[in-house]
Chain A
Amino acid sequence: MARGDSGQLHTLEGFSAAVLMILVLIFVVQATSITPLTASAANLHVEAQLQFYGRDILAALDDPFVEGPFNGTPGNLSILKYELLRWDGQEYVWNGSQYVRSGASSVSVNVSPMFRLLSGVLHPNGIAHNLELIYISNSSGDPAQKKWIWNGNPSLNAISVSRTLALHNNVTDISTFSAFYDNTSIGDIDTRTCPPGCLYNIVEARLTLWRL
C-alpha cells in the first residue's frame, strides 16, 4: 500500500535501537556497582592487599630462621614445616573465636603459632581463608589434595597464594615425627635409602583468602 507504512514498527531499526539500549543499560549497571567484591577498578587495591597478606603470611611462616617458642624443635625447620610435620591430619575450621576440628565443636582447639598468626592477622580484618596441601601421592607423581583449614568455598574474587615445601628424610627429620604418615598419608616418594633417596615429598601449601 502506498501510504500505509506510517506508524509501523520498522523491525530492523527498532531491533538495533533496543540492542543498543540494552547494551548501554548493561554498561551502566556494571559501571555503577563498585563494591569490594565486584571485579571493578576499585577492587584492584583490595585484591592487591589480599595478595600482600597471603604472600607475607606464608613468607613469615616459612622463614627457616626459627626463634622462640620451639622447644624441642630440630633446627632449620620453619614454623610452617614444623606445623605440617606435627599436623594430625584433621580439617580445622574457625568457629568465631578459635580453630576447632571440623565436626567436633568442643575439642581439639589449635593454638599453635601458625594458627595464632592466621587468626591474629586475618580474622580482625574480616578475611576468610582456606589452607590446602597439595602433595605427590604416588611414584608416578600424581598430585593429591588435603584440606588443613577449610572455611567453606571461597568467593569468586578470592586470592590464592602458594608456597612449595620440600620435605627431606634427613633435614626435616621425618623419623621424629613418626605419626606423620599415619596422620596425613603423605608418604615417602623416594623410597631409596637415604642418601641418595633423601627426598620425602614435595608439598604445596596453598592459602586462599577472600573478603567476608
Chain B
Amino acid sequence: MVRDLPDSPRAPHSCPPGGDTGQISLDFLFGIVLFLFAFTYVILFIPGLFSPFDTESDVTTLQGDKTAIWLVEEKLADDKSRPGVVNLSKLTAFMAELNGTDTQKTLLRQEAGLISDIRRLDLNVSVDWLNGTVNTSGNATPSSTSVGQTRRVVKVVNVSLNESGMSGHPLIHEVFTSTSADAVVLFNPAKDPVDLARWRLTDGEQNLTFPNATLIGPRGFLTIVRGSASSFVRGCTPDLELVQAGSVNSDAIPNMVNATTAAPWFDLDSADEVCLYNHRGNLTDAVNIGAGGDDCGDGGATRTLSGANLPPFTSGLSQRRVNPGIEGAETDETDENWASSFGVFTPSCPATEAVISVRVW
C-alpha cells in the first residue's frame, strides 16, 4: 500500500536551496580553458612565426639601410646637396677597395659602422648598370645566414660640379679606339650651353661638322661614336653617330655631317689625332694618339709639343682626361692630364643610372 509518508528527516542538501549563484558553470569553465589554450598557443607560436626574421635579421636589415644611406649620400656622393648623384671615380675607387686586401675591407667596414664590440658585420656591394652589366665587390654573401639588403637607385656622373680652373670652352674629354668602333666624348666645362653648329672634328684626314642646333649643355657631355653604338655605352644613347658603310646607323641618333664623302671615313688608329675646331676655324683642343699622331693638319694654331704623346691606346679601352674640363699646358694634350685605365668601368658613358645593392650580414 502506498501512502504518503510524512516528511522524514533527510540528509541536509549539499547546497542551500536557491544557492547556486557563485558556482562555476561547466560552460564558463569550458570557455576559459579554451581561451587559455588559445592564448598559450599564440604565445608559443608567435616566436616561431618570426624565426625566419630572428633578431639577427632585424640588425642586418637596419644596418643594410644605414650602410646604403651612408654609401650613397656620403661616401660616394658627388655633392651632398645633390642626393642620389654618385661620382664615378669615387665609385670605382670604392669598388676596387672593397675587392682589395683584408685591411682595406676592414677599414671600409669600420667606416660604414659595421664593426662594433658586440658584432662584426660583413659587407658586399654590387652595381647593376641599366644595360645589364653587374659589378660586385666584397666577400661573397653566405647562403645560410640572414642577409640584409637595401637597394638604391643612383645617377652616376663622372665629373663633379665643384671643379675650379675649368676651361671656358668645350674640350675633348675621352677617346676610345678599337678596330670596329671609335668614340669621342666632348665636355663643355662652361656654365652656358654651347652651340656646336659649324664646329669641326677631324682626325687630320677627315673633316666632320656637327649638325645644326647641336647644343652641348652646361657642364654637359656629347658622345660621338663610329660603329656599333651598343659596344660603347652602359645604357646611354650616343648623341651623334659617324655613319660608315656597313656600320650601324640608328635612326634615333643624328649623324655627323661629313664634309668630304670619300673614304676613308673618320677612323682612329694607333697613330692618330683628334682635333676640335670652333666655328671660327680655330683649333680649340687636340689630342694625340700614340707616337706619330701629332698633326691636326690645320696650322690654325701654334702648337708646342712637349713631353711624351699619349701612351698607345689599348684597343677596347678608353682614355680620359683625369681632371675634366681642365686643359693641359699645351693645346695638344700630352699624357700629363690623361689616364689610360678606367678599370672595370671602361669604356665609359658620360652619365647613367645604376642600382646599388648593399648587402650586410
Chain A neighbourhood of B235, CB < 8 A: 116, 120
Q: A16 vs B46: C-alpha distance in the bound complex, in angstroms?
A: 24
Max count, chain B CB within 10 A of own CB: residue among A8, A32, A45, A65: A65
Is A155 part of the contact surface with B, judged by Cβ < 8 Å? no
**Closest chain A CB from B357 CB (angstroms):** 10
Check A68 against B349 for contact (C-beta < 8 Å): yes
Q: A177 vs B79: C-alpha distance in the bound complex, in angstroms?
A: 31
Residue among A10, A20, A53, A73 making CB contact with B217, cutoff 8 Å: A73
Max count, chain A CB within 10 A of own CB: residue among B17, B72, B83: B83
Chain A neighbourhood of B84, CB < 8 A: 55-56, 59-60, 63
Check B157 against A65 for contact (C-beta < 8 Å): yes
Given A56-B152, A60-B155, A74-B193, A18:B236 Cβ within 8 A: no
Is A49 part of the contact surface with B, judged by Cβ < 8 Å? yes
**Closest chain A CB from B153 CB (angstroms):** 4
Is A76 part of the contact surface with B, judged by Cβ < 8 Å? yes
Which A9-35 residues have C-beta < 8 A from chain B? 9-10, 13-14, 16-18, 20-21, 24-25, 27-28, 31-32, 34
Chain B neighbourhood of A56, CB < 8 A: 72, 84, 152-154
Which A43-60 residues have C-beta < 8 A from chain B? 45, 48-49, 52-53, 55-57, 59-60
Residue among A55, A68, A71, A117 making CB contact with B214, cutoff 8 Å: A71
Is B307 part of the contact surface with A, judged by Cβ < 8 Å? no
Residue among A9, A16, A17, A67 making CB contact with B351, cutoff 8 Å: A67
Chain B neighbourhood of A10, CB < 8 A: 25, 27-28
Check A120 against B130 for contact (C-beta < 8 Å): yes
Check A71 against B239 for contact (C-beta < 8 Å): yes
Q: A2 vs B72: C-alpha distance in the bound complex, in angstroms?
A: 81
Check A20 against B31 for contact (C-beta < 8 Å): yes
Chain A neighbourhood of B219, CB < 8 A: 65, 67
Which B224-277 residues have C-beta < 8 A from chain A? 235-240, 252, 254
Q: A111 vs B32: C-alpha distance in the bound complex, in angstroms?
A: 65
What 1/0 flags go to B205-221 for Cβ under 8 Å of A? 00000000111011111
What 1/0 flags go to B4-32 for Cβ under 8 Å of A? 00000000000001101000011110111
Check B28 against A57 for contact (C-beta < 8 Å): no
Chain A neighbourhood of B240, CB < 8 A: 71
Check B31 against A18 for contact (C-beta < 8 Å): yes
Which B145-198 residues have C-beta < 8 A from chain A? 150-155, 157, 159, 161, 192-193
Given A28-B38, A68-B220, A121:B215 Cβ within 8 A: no
What 1/0 flags go to B346-360 for Cβ under 8 Å of A? 000111110100000
Main secondary structure of the interface of A (DSSP, over half): helix
Residue among B49, B218, B350, B355 making CB contact with A68, cutoff 8 Å: B350
Closest chain A residue to B153 by CB distance?
Answer: A56
**Closest chain A CB from B39 CB (angstroms):** 6
Q: A167 vs B86: C-alpha distance in the bound complex, in angstroms?
A: 26
Is B342 part of the contact surface with A, judged by Cβ < 8 Å? no
Check B152 against A52 for contact (C-beta < 8 Å): yes
Check B222 against A71 for contact (C-beta < 8 Å): yes
Which B97-130 residues have C-beta < 8 A from chain A? 130
Check A67 against B157 for contact (C-beta < 8 Å): yes
Check A21 against B38 for contact (C-beta < 8 Å): yes
Chain B neighbourhood of A117, CB < 8 A: 130, 153, 353
Residue among B27, B38, B217, B353 making CB contact with A70, cutoff 8 Å: B217
Check A13 against B28 for contact (C-beta < 8 Å): yes
Chain B neighbourhood of A34, CB < 8 A: 49
Check A31 against B46 for contact (C-beta < 8 Å): yes
Is A72 part of the contact surface with B, judged by Cβ < 8 Å? yes
Closest chain B residue to A58 by CB distance?
Answer: B84
What 1/0 flags go to B47-66 for Cβ under 8 Å of A? 00110010000000100010
Check B215 against A72 for contact (C-beta < 8 Å): yes
Chain A neighbourhood of B350, CB < 8 A: 67-68
Residue among B28, B39, B214, B220 making CB contact with A66, cutoff 8 Å: B220
**Closest chain B CB from A109 CB (angstroms):** 11
Closest chain A residue to B20 by CB distance?
Answer: A5
Q: A71 vs B39: C-alpha distance in the bound complex, in angstroms?
A: 68
**Closest chain B CB from A80 CB (angstroms):** 12
Give chain B's interface residues, CB within 8 Å of chain A.
17-18, 20, 25-28, 30-32, 34-35, 38-39, 41-42, 45-46, 49-50, 53, 61, 65, 68, 72, 82-85, 130, 150-155, 157, 159, 161, 192-193, 213-215, 217-223, 235-240, 252, 254, 349-353, 355
Give chain A's interface residues, CB within 8 Å of chain B.
2, 5, 7-10, 13-14, 16-18, 20-21, 24-25, 27-28, 31-32, 34, 41-42, 45, 48-49, 52-53, 55-57, 59-60, 63, 65-76, 111, 113, 116-117, 120-121, 125
A-B contact pairs, 24 of them (CB 8 A): A7-B26, A10-B25, A10-B28, A13-B28, A17-B32, A17-B34, A32-B45, A48-B150, A49-B151, A59-B155, A63-B82, A63-B155, A67-B217, A68-B223, A68-B351, A69-B236, A69-B238, A71-B254, A72-B213, A75-B215, A75-B217, A116-B235, A117-B353, A121-B353
